[in-house]
Amino acid sequence: MSWTSLDKMDLDGKRVLTRVDLNVPVEGGRVTDATRIERIVPTVKAILDRGGQPVLLAHFGRPKGQRNDEMSLRQVIPALEKALGRDVTFAEDCVGNAAAEAIAKGGVVLLENTRFHAGEEKNDGALADEMAKLGDIYCNDAFSAAHRAHASTEGLARRLPACAGRLMAEELNALETALTDPERPLMAVVGGAKVSTKLDLLSNLVRKVNHLVIGGGMANTFLAAQGINVGKSLAEHDMTDTAKDILTRADEMGCEIILPHDVVVAREFKAGAESETVAANACPADAMILDTGPDSVARIKKAMAGCKTLIWNGPLGAFEIQPFDAATNAAAAEAARLTREGSLVSVAGGGDTVAALNKAGAADDFTYISSAGGAFLEWMEGKTLPGVAALG
Ligand code: 3PG
Ligand code: MG
The 10s digit of each residue's pLDDT in 146-168 is 999 999 999 999 999 999 999 99
Atom of ligand 1 nearest to the CA of 61: 10
HSE, side-chain direction, 13 A CA sphere, residue 365: 20
The arithmetic mean of pLDDT across residues 6-35, rounded, is: 96
351, pLDDT greater than 90: no
Whether 39 lines ligand 1, by a CB cut-off of 6 Å, is no
Nearest CA to 54 out of 24, 92, 82, 80 is that of 80
Give this prediction's pTM.
0.94
**Which residue out of 267, 351, 359, 383 is catalytically annotated?**
351
Instruction: DSSP for 89-132, please give it.
Output: EEES-SSHHHHHHHHHT-SEEEE--GGGSHHHHTT-HHHHHHHH
Whether 292 lines ligand 1, by a CB cut-off of 6 Å, is no
- Nearest Cα residue to atom 9 of ligand 1: 374
pLDDT at 2: 86
Atom of ligand 1 nearest to the CA of 351: 3
Note if 217 is an active site residue. no
Confidence of residue 4 (pLDDT cuts 50, 70, 90): very high
pLDDT 10s digits, 182-204: 999 999 999 988 888 998 999 99
pLDDT at 78: 98
**Omega within 30 of 0 (cis) for the link into 284:** no
Note if 361 is an active site residue. no
Whether 144 lines ligand 1, by a CB cut-off of 6 Å, is yes
pLDDT at 352: 86
55 CB-near residues (< 8 Å, 6+ apart): 15, 16, 17, 18, 99, 103, 109, 111, 134, 135
201 CB-near residues (< 8 Å, 6+ apart): 190, 313, 377, 380, 381
% of the chain with per-residue pLDDT over 90: 96
For CA atoms 268, 270, 273, 276, the dihedral sign is positive
pLDDT 10s digits, 239-291: 999 999 999 999 999 999 999 999 999 999 999 999 999 999 999 999 999 99
Whether 148 lines ligand 1, by a CB cut-off of 6 Å, is yes
The arithmetic mean of pLDDT across residues 29-49, rounded, is: 96
293 CB-near residues (< 8 Å, 6+ apart): 260, 261, 262, 263, 264, 277, 278, 280, 327
R_g of the chain, CA atoms, integer Å = 23
Nearest ligand (C-alpha, residue 62): 1
- Nearest Cα residue to atom 7 of ligand 1: 145
Note if 232 is an active site residue. no
**Which residue out of 36, 39, 148, 198 is catalytically annotated?**
36
1, pLDDT greater than 80: no
pLDDT 10s digits, 57-116: 999 999 999 999 999 999 999 999 999 999 999 999 999 999 999 999 999 999 999 999
Atom of ligand 1 nearest to the CA of 142: 5
Whether 373 lines ligand 1, by a CB cut-off of 6 Å, is yes
Report the b/e string of 132-156 with b at 16+ CB within 10 A.
bebbbbbbbbbbbbbbbbbbbbbbb
Note if 36 is an active site residue. yes
For residue 144, the CA-to-ligand 2 centroid distance in Å is 8
For residue 14, the CA-to-ligand 1 centroid distance in Å is 28
List, in sequence order, every residue forming a beta bridge with 187; answer none if it has no partner.
211, 310
pLDDT 10s digits, 289-309: 999 999 999 999 999 999 999
Whether 371 lines ligand 1, by a CB cut-off of 6 Å, is no
